[in-house]
């Protein structure tokens, strides 16, 4: 049973027991109030912090013991940054991962194709990247996911196995939608802050937090191209300098594949 289902069951059991034992009274209202508040708090935590796994399993790190780091780029493809970034990765023989926005894939299919042809991992980052995606359920949520799968398949011939939610939030319906689409949810263990901070601060933050199997959240959409290229080149040099290999998510997650297959069938 999932933690979400378990929480719901506990909340309902407490409510039912209180009703049976106490009858209608002020105390019952108080107990109900506390249970509902606790339930909402748990729901809120589950939405805001998917790593807690209330609604679905989110993979946020590769296998400990492997000296590997995965650089992941969200919100592209982007006509200003994606091609120069691909050139830089090619120059250093680095494989990375790109979580693409379906609408942008439809607008710039050749960029998505270039990412795939270079051998990087491609993931699904919803079709519109609405900030409120995580409040959707049913068909609208499902459409955000499947339209993006279709757009990526049309442009690249590949169907992604990985999904990253916009803003990193989850919701109680997401697990079911992802399972149907054959997707595993991927988070990160290092949020770089690359959109808000100067390159040296971003670099310091990443170098401080890097550990075996780290997944680094970066963006190739909505960022300054020169700053991005400078940051990524320095990251590659410095991470390799302390012994890390830079790998794609497909490569990093190879060791976790058995466990994830289990998660898919058990979800």
Instruction: Give the residue numbers annotated as catalytic, written as ranges.
Output: 74, 219
Closer to Zn ion at the Cβ: 55 or 73? Answer: 73
Q: Evaluate whether 50 touches 185 at the Cβ level (below 8 Å).
A: yes
Closer to Zn ion at the Cβ: 75 or 78? Answer: 75
Closer to Zn ion at the Cβ: 74 or 194? Answer: 74
**Main-chain phi, psi angles of 253, to 5 degrees:** -85, 0
At closest approach, how far in Å is the CB of 100 from Zn ion?
10
Closer to Zn ion at the Cβ: 11 or 169? Answer: 169
Q: Evaluate whether 199 touches 227 at the Cβ level (below 8 Å).
A: yes
Give the binding range for Zn ion (CB under 5 A) out of 104-112, 158-166, 186-194, 232-240: 158-166
Q: Using CA atoms, how far apart are residues 150 and 162, in angstroms rounded to an integer?
A: 14
Q: Which of 4, 54, 75, 136 binds Zn ion (CB under 5 A)?
A: 75
Q: Evaluate whether 131 touches 101 at the Cβ level (below 8 Å).
A: no
Closer to Zn ion at the Cβ: 187 or 244? Answer: 187
- Does residue 194 interact with Zn ion by CB under 5 A? no
Number of Cβ within 10 Å of residue 137's Cβ equals: 14
Number of Cβ within 10 Å of residue 30's Cβ equals: 12
Relative orientation angle of helices 82-91 and 109-117, to the nearest 10 degrees: 10
- At 123 the three-state DSSP class reads strand
Q: Using CA atoms, how far apart are residues 250 and 48, in angstroms rounded to an integer?
A: 26
Nearest residue to the partner Zn ion, using Cβ: 74
At closest approach, how far in Å is the CB of 75 from Zn ion?
4
Q: Which of 56, 74, 144, 156 binds Zn ion (CB under 5 A)?
A: 74
At closest approach, how far in Å is the CB of 47 from Zn ion?
16
Q: Is the dihedral of CA 169, 53, 103, 81 positive or negative?
A: positive
At closest approach, how far in Å is the CB of 258 from Zn ion?
29
Q: Evaluate whether 147 touches 102 at the Cβ level (below 8 Å).
A: yes
Q: Is the dihedral of CA 234, 121, 170, 109 positive or negative?
A: positive
By the criterion CB under 5 A, which residues form the site for Zn ion?
74-75, 166
């Amino acid at each position: 049973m999932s933690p979400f289902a378990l929480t719901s069951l506990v909340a309902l059991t407490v409510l039912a027991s209180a009703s049976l034992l106490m009858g209608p009274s002020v105390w019952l209202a108080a107990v109900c109030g506390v249970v509902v508040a606790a339930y909402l708090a748990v729901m809120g935590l589950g939405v805001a912090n998917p790593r807690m796994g209330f609604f679905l399993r989110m993979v946020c790190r590769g296998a400990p013991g492997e000296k590997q780091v995965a650089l992941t780029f969200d919100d592209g493809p982007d006509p200003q940054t994606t091609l120069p970034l691909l050139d830089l990765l090619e120059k250093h023989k680095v494989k990375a991962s790109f979580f693409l926005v379906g609408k942008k894939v439809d607008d710039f299919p050749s960029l998505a194709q270039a990412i795939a042809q270079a051998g990087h991992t491609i993931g699904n980052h919803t079709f519109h990247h609405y900030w409120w995606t995580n409040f959707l359920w049913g068909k609208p949520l499902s459409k955000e996911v499947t339209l993006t799968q279709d757009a990526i398949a049309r442009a690249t011939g590949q169907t992604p196995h990985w999904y990253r939610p916009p803003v990193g939030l989850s919701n109680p319906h997401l697990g079911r939608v992802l399972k149907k689409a054959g997707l595993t949810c991927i988070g990160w263990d290092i949020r770089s802050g690359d959109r808000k901070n100067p390159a040296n601060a971003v670099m310091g933050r990443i170098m401080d937090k890097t550990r075996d199997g780290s997944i680094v959240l970066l963006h190739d959409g909505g960022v300054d191209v020169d700053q991005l290229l400078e940051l990524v080149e320095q990251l590659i040099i410095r991470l390799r300098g302390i012994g890390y290999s830079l790998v794609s998510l497909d490569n990093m997650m190879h060791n976790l594949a058995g466990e994830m297959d289990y998660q898919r069938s058990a979800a």
